[in-house]
Amino acid sequence: MKEENKPFNDVIDHFNKIEGNVTNPANAKFSKLPKPLKYIGYFMIAFFSVSFILIIILSLLN
């Protein structure tokens, strides 16, 4: 493990192993998630994007 990614005590190390926290954000990849979670993520991103655009368009029409 690199020096910058070492936990500062054993409790944090245990927490990271049990909870599955990534120590390096580069290791958290969206493509490695299970398919149902990916689809939920895609749906949420699309829903919020479309909602935001509709709010802007409808506010301009008023």
Residue numbers of the chain with a pLDDT score lower than 50: 1
- pTM over 0.75, yes/no: no
- Is the Cβ–Cβ distance between 53 and 45 less than 8 Å? no
- Is the Cβ–Cβ distance between 23 and 16 less than 8 Å? yes
- Is the Cβ–Cβ distance between 5 and 24 less than 8 Å? yes
The predicted structure's pLDDT at residue 31: 75
Give DSSP secondary structure letters for the chain. --GGGS-SSHHHHHHHHHHT--SSGGG--GGGS-HHHHHHHHHHHHHHHHHHHHHHHHHHH-
